[in-house]
Structure 1
């Protein structure tokens, strides 16, 4: 846990956020976040990681790997799974609102388009295998 604690603290500091800022942006309690950063709690589950990733400007996959939920040599995700993870990242980013008010069924192609627009608007690469 100490490795994850230091990693998550560095991510927060890199964004120049206080623990209270992160708590406010994610809805995760200040005390729980503090305990994670101090190494007194296990890394949070994937649901909390989904809320932390956009605030810390990292991918969900990066957080899951740092927490030990994913192994480096784990089989690759399918293209559809990569798009779904990237799309969830975009939808959970509190600073980004373009294209997030869609209704009806969203196909993988529509989700990919929204992610690509996010990548262009933010300069953050979420989908692998393409140059920026």
Structure 2
């Protein structure tokens, strides 16, 4: 996919990272990353996509989809509330994160979204689509 290189270049620049920094953080060679961005190499496999996803703060599925490995219509669509619930459960089960995890009573979707957004800000992980982690 010729657009994949442009896509990952945009992700890198959005994060304010150089190719050398991405190379250091992922363990992927500078020259290989450069060739991908220039469209001279095919998109990498899932293992390297996983490393890139964490640095670019997108999901591995987003990268796999952009590379043409996943079809859009093969995935069931989740409602906004389902996505918040899944992200909230991820936060509550992260043993390294304890802020906001001792709550009593029934929590509204808005409160759960708030907890997820605070987690995203604290950790730099993007759990919800369209959120500004």
Alpha-carbon spacing, 1:73–1:53, altered in 2? closer, same or farther (3 Å): same
Alpha-carbon spacing, 1:69–1:14, altered in 2? closer, same or farther (3 Å): same
Secondary structure of the residue that 1:58 maps to in structure 2?
A: coil
* 1:99 match: 96
Q: Does residue 123 of structure 2 align to residue 126 of structure 1?
A: no
C-alpha deviation, 1:20, in angstroms? 0.2
- C-alpha separation between the residues in 2 aligned to 1:123 and 1:44? 24
Residues 1-132 of structure 1: pairs in structure 2 closer than 5 A: 1-76=1-76, 99=96, 118-119=119-120, 121-122=122-123, 124-126=125-127
Q: 5+ residue gaps in structure 2?
A: 98-115
- C-alpha separation between the residues in 1 aligned to 2:27 and 2:125? 24
Give me the TM-score of the superposition, normalised by structure 1.
0.63
Which digits, 9 at most, give the CA deviation of each residue in 1:59-116, with x for residues without a partner? Answer: 1110010000110101339x9xxx7xxx7xxx9xxxxxx729xxxxxxxxxxxxxxx6
Give me the TM-score of the superposition, normalised by structure 2.
0.62
RMSD of Structure 2 on Structure 1 (CA): 3.1
C-alpha deviation, 1:2, in angstroms? 1.8
C-alpha deviation, 1:123, in angstroms? 6.9
- C-alpha separation between the residues in 2 aligned to 1:123 and 1:54? 9
Are 2:26 and 2:51, in contact at CA under 8 Å, matched by a contact in 1? yes
Secondary structure of the residue that 2:69 maps to in structure 1?
A: coil
State the aligned residue count.
100
- C-alpha separation between the residues in 2 aligned to 1:47 and 1:6? 20
